[in-house]
């Protein structure tokens, strides 16, 4: 299973000591501890951008500390970083156009639509977007609420 973590999930994981975020930190830790052979998780570049810009803004306003950005960097190194590719951006343009024709705008027409870029990254990677709000994304790509996605069973020694 390939899990693509969205911006909201990453934001919670960048503040693991907050009482309300401990459960999601434990959830990711359980996934990593299980070391399932078919499990991969990624920090997608578009979500990194969305969260990083917000964290930097909060740091400059003295509402957060640089440690939150360091945690985001740590997550990318720990679980993997999914860069934006040309294929993903071209697919994002198609998704954006299709959504507009169907009357499903996910952002202002002139804005960079991070939801369709995230969806395209997940589709190209063959992954499921783990999110706290699947409403817009589920139109384009498989999504999962982290609270309904239990960690895989740990592999037993001697088994493949």
Q: What domain count does the chain have?
A: 1
> Residue 153: its pLDDT value, please?
65
154: in domain = no
Secondary structure of residue 82 in the 3-state scheme = strand
Which residues 6+ apart lie within 8 Å of 90 measured at CB?
A: none
Q: How far apart are CA 107 and CA 27, in angstroms?
A: 30
**Within a domain: residue 153?**
no
Whether 156 maps to a domain, the answer reads: no
Tell me if 159 is assigned to some domain: no
Q: Which domain holds residue 56?
A: 2-148
Which tokens hold the place of 81? 């970083």
Dihedral (CA of 59, 64, 66, 72) sign: negative
Per the domain annotation, does 105 fall within a domain?
yes
Reading the block at residue 85, the tokens are 């590719």
What is the pLDDT tens value at each position of the chain, 160 positions in all?
899 999 999 999 999 888 989 999 999 988 888 766 677 899 999 999 999 999 999 999 999 999 999 999 999 999 999 999 999 999 999 999 999 899 887 777 766 789 999 999 999 999 999 998 888 789 999 999 998 887 666 544 544 4
Of 148, 144, 11, which Cα lies nearest the Cα of 75?
Answer: 11
Query: Which residues 6+ apart lie within 8 Å of 20 measured at CB?
Result: 12
**Are the CB atoms for 137 and 131 separated by under 8 Å?**
yes
CA–CA gap between residue 96 and residue 103 (Å, rounded):
10
Which CATH number fits the domain that encloses residue 133? Answer: 3.40.50.1010
**CA torsion, ordered 55, 60, 66, 69, to nearest 10 deg:** 20
Q: Phi and psi at residue 40, in whole multiples of 5°? A: -140, 140
Closest CA to 21 of 6, 4, 40, 8: 8
pTM as predicted: 0.88
Tokens read off for 147: 């609270």
- DSSP code of 132? S
User: Is the residue at 68 inside a domain?
Assistant: yes
Is 157 inside a domain boundary? no
- In the prediction, which pLDDT does 159 show? 47
- Give a yes or no: residue 37 inside a domain: yes
């Amino acid at each position: 299973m390939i899990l693509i973590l969205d911006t909201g999930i990453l934001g919670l994981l960048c503040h693991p000591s907050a009482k309300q975020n401990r459960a999601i930190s434990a959830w990711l830790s359980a996934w990593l501890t299980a070391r399932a052979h078919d499990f991969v998780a990624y920090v997608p570049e578009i979500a990194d951008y969305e969260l990083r810009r917000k964290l930097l803004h909060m740091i400059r306003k003295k509402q957060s500390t640089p440690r939150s950005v360091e945690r985001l960097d740590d997550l990318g190194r720990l679980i993997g970083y999914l860069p934006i590719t040309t294929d993903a951006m071209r697919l994002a343009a198609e998704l954006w156009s299709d959504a507009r024709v169907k009357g499903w705008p996910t952002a202002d027409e002139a804005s960079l639509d991070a939801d369709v870029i995230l969806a395209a990254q997940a589709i190209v990677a063959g992954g499921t977007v783990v999110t706290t709000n699947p409403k817009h994304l589920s139109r384009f790509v498989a999504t999962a609420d982290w609270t309904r996605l239990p960690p895989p069973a740990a592999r037993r020694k001697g088994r493949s």
